[in-house]
Amino acid sequence: MKIISFVLALLCLPILSSAQKIKRKLVFADEFNYTGLPDSTKWGYEKGFVRDGEPQYYTEKRLKNCHVDNGLLVIEGIREQYPNPDYKAGSDRREQKQEFAPYTSASINTHGKYSWQYGRIEVRAKVPGGKGTWPAFWMLGDTHYNIGWPRCGEIDIMEYLGRDSTQVHATVHYADSLGKHQQQGIAKMVGNPADGFHIYAVDWDDKGMVFYYDDLKYFTFSYAGMKKADINVFKKKFYLLINLALGSARDWGGPQDDTILPAKYYIDYVRVYQ
């Protein structure tokens, strides 16, 4: 018995050493244990018709679309006639030609406040169900407003489409040597993500990324597989975004089912470990 115990103890040593090597420190967190608007020292806003094809207008510092209460951040997609402050009669620009937005929602981010190079980035959240809902938890390179997308890089830790109610999506976007958009990702069938709170996370280092749904490791991305592209794009700092987009026939979300609105995206916490 003593010999067996000694052998078992030796076998355990490398396991303990591996666990110690991956021990990380919490470097950022919002547990949302307050009331009102999101903490302005951590979060800013996207505003307006931000991405082509999406019908919602992202409002800024509007409690109706984004507030913290009962320990949760709530982002709410609403059907309403919302006056577009950028409206200009006769304009062909999308952000100006609509006098009223048919939907409102919110998109918050840490740009200019916090960004990170590597680590484990995770959220515990409950996504809204119903066709047209399109919540996301993702990252953009700090160079986004300097060199543009996709050259800045994009890490989609979680996207969920209400029209594909059993799947979650993890995707990495970047540019090839000619500046053309490239992407690698996966849609993983996991059950019903809208049934409750789940953890969505990425482990990110100088070799690649591993994506998780709760304890399920479902997508691995290696920089070695980036053909004709600068792998250094993912070796720089990225900032976080949390948003709830709504769908249309022109975008990936698909046609919006107005009967399921308002749609609420609940976030329990956001944590970054390094």
* Structural domain contains residue 200: yes
The reply to whether 5 falls in a domain is no
State both tokens at 207.
């070799």
> How many structural domains compose the chain?
1
Residue 230 belongs to a domain: yes
Q: Which of 76, 110, 60, 59 is nearest to 271 (CA)?
A: 110
Average pLDDT over residues 34-48: 98
In a domain, 18, yes or no: no
Does the pLDDT value for residue 5 go beyond 60? no
Alpha-carbon span 60 to 42, nearest angstrom = 15
pLDDT at 6: 37
Is 16 domain-assigned? no
- Closest alpha carbon to 54 in 15, 89, 106: 106
Q: Is residue 78 part of a domain?
A: yes
| Residue 95 reports pLDDT greater than 60 | yes
Evaluate if residue 254 carries a pLDDT over 70: yes
- Whether residue 223 lies inside any domain: the answer is yes
Q: Tell whether the model's pLDDT for residue 12 goes beyond 70.
A: no
Dump pLDDT digits (tens) for 128-147: 999 999 999 999 999 999 99
Mean pLDDT of the chain: 92
Residue 202 lies inside a defined structural domain of this protein: yes
Range of the domain at 128: 24-273
Nearest Cα neighbor of 57 from 109, 18, 25, 100 is 100
Q: What is the CATH number of the domain that holds 61?
A: 2.60.120.200
Closest C-alpha to 196, from 139, 124, 98:
124
Mean pLDDT over 225-231 rounds to 91
Six-digit token pair at 262? 């308002």
Query: Stretch 52-60: mean pLDDT, rounded?
Result: 93
Catalytic annotation, residues: 154, 159
pLDDT above 90 coverage of the chain, percent: 87
Which pLDDT score is estimated for 10?
Answer: 39
30 — pLDDT class (breaks 50, 70, 90): very high
Average pLDDT over residues 217-230: 94
DSSP the chain: -HHHHHHHHHHHHHHHHHHHHT---EEEEE---S-BS--TTT-EE--BS-STT--EEEPSS-TTTEEEETTEEEEEEEEEEEE-TT--TT--SHHHH-SEEEEEE-EEE-TTT--BSSEEEEEEEE---STTEEEEEEEEETTHHHH-TTTT-EEEEEE--TTSTTEEEEEEEEEBTTS-EEEEEEEEE-S-GGGS-EEEEEEE-SSEEEEEETTEEEEEEEGGG-TTB-GGGGGS-EEEEEEEEE--TTSTT-S--GGG-SEEEEEEEEEEE-
pLDDT score for 21: 53
Least confident of 55-59, 104-108, 226-230: 226-230
Facing residues of 173 across strands? 154, 183
In this prediction, residues 102-129 reach a mean pLDDT of: 98
Q: Please compute the mean of the pLDDT values over residues 122-132 and round it to a whole number.
A: 97
CA 189, CA 136: separation in Å to the nearest integer? 17
**pLDDT at 18 exceeding the cut of 80:** no
